[in-house]
Amino acid sequence: MRKILLIFIFFSHFVLANNLPELGDYSSSKISENDEIFIGRQILFQVNQSDSIIRDIEIKDYLDLLARRLINVSTDPTKRIEFFIVNDSSINAFAMLGGVIGVHTGLFLAANSESELASVLSHEIAHINQKHISRFLAQQERASYQSTFVMAIALLLARSNPQLASTTMAGASAGSVQGALDFTRENEKEADRVGIQTLNNAGFDVRGARDFFETLKKANQFSGGAAPAFLQTHPITSSRINDIESRLKDFPYKQRIDSQTFHYVKGKLKALLGDRSDTKNILEENIKNKIYINEGEERFALAYIYLMNNEFEKSQEQIQWLFDNQKTNPMTSQLYINYLTKIKKFTEAKKLYEENLNYYPSNRSFVYGLADLYLKTQETEKAIKLLKKNVRRFSNDPILYKLFAKGYSNQGKKLLQYENLAEAAYYNFNLQEAIIRMDLAIKANDGDFYQKSRVESRLKQFQRERQIYTNNK
């Protein structure tokens, strides 16, 4: 069992290092707690090395808040699940070993409602909470070692290269393959059942689950017949559709208005991804001809594109429309601050940041944006004071520690600079780099007794953690 798991981990590392995988339907109960932490951290380390990851703080925070709302009312509210966003236009999301879920940008853009998006997230959360990987491995215990290993690899490959997976499956016995396929179909039905209940518990419209499949059907019509990625990694059958329809009858109709943030996130993704010129032309035509689901979403995206193109007057016009016609939203304020910063009105930008932080003290975009602006305008003490105020709230965020490091570098404080670079590496799941940086902090010539004792203690903690992971290999 342990040997299979280690080859399994090694292979997932290989796939991650070369191309982000679509590793759906995996979690673990037979794996120990330390093993699962180790697997999750290794996956996230590899993920964070990729240029395909969307790191925008507003988009990431929206996803995390939406997911947390679902996790809190799921079958395991205490389960630690980490999310990341992949820049991939295909419609997909996938659960992985170690409590990790990846979401494609294509899913955000395809979702017609927040309930549709939430239905997919609740489905993936259910895969993790229901421990489907351990149930799969338990079923395969009767099979030979070789067949179990080949099937594990085949199911991994199915998430990134279905054609190659078919070839790999040919190497396993027909009985093992059919058993595994039947089992994953049962996983899907169970994840549907549990996910729909979670969706309802969180206050979303459960019919978003059915509507999402309608969205997939429409996407399939425009893709030359190739099935959307979600259907390749989450196969759907007529019995599964009937089962979903039957379950929906148990829930009363619930009308739910999407949050404006949902539409702004979609708008921002439209602006950031794809050909900017083409997107601008499409948005301008959509607004002119009133062809859109949400006008605010289109104008938000267009304002961002104008800003990136340095078309400041046009951007300001769109931003003003948003202020005049939409409810107050932190993303609109951040967009306007970005505009002020681009035209070098730093004093106004800082004032607006400070005002918004009074209303939204937990908004990371405002905290880090203001700290970065303080650093750019040589107000290092203000930046460090702001970061210290928020260090407990965002204690596991590498961005915070990078900003700390930049501030202490400005002040020539080497120990504190390296200490925070070490913390940034640690929370980017790069334990080896964290150890190197913390060792440099210890070797720095500055720092008081308390600071030296703190970094020595933290280094020992990193080294103990590395030893635990080494023992698991």
Across the range 85-113, mean pLDDT stands at 91
72-98 as b/e: b if 16+ CB within 10 A? eebeeeeeebbbbbbbbebbbbbbbbb
Domain boundaries, the chain: 2-248, 396-473
Encoded amino acid at 169, one letter: M
The string of pLDDT tens digits covering residues 151-166 is 444 444 444 444 434 4
Residue 366 has pLDDT above 90, yes or no: yes
| Residues 88/178, Cβ–Cβ less than 8 Å | no
34-55 as b/e: b if 16+ CB within 10 A? ebbbbbbbbbbbbbeeeeeebe
The string of pLDDT tens digits covering residues 278-302 is 999 999 999 999 999 999 999 999 9
Task: Name the pLDDT band for 84 (thresholds 50, 70, 90).
Answer: very high
Residue 101 has pLDDT above 80, yes or no: yes
Both structure tokens of 205: 């419209």
Q: Which CATH architecture has domain 396-473?
A: Alpha Horseshoe (1.25)
Rounded to a whole number of angstroms, the distance between the first and last alpha carbons of the chain is: 13
303-334 as b/e: b if 16+ CB within 10 A? bbbbbeeebeebbbebbebbeeebeebbbbbb
The string of pLDDT tens digits covering residues 382-430 is 999 999 999 999 999 999 999 999 999 999 999 999 999 999 999 999 9
| Residues 418/452, Cβ–Cβ less than 8 Å | no
Does the reported pTM lie above 0.75?
yes
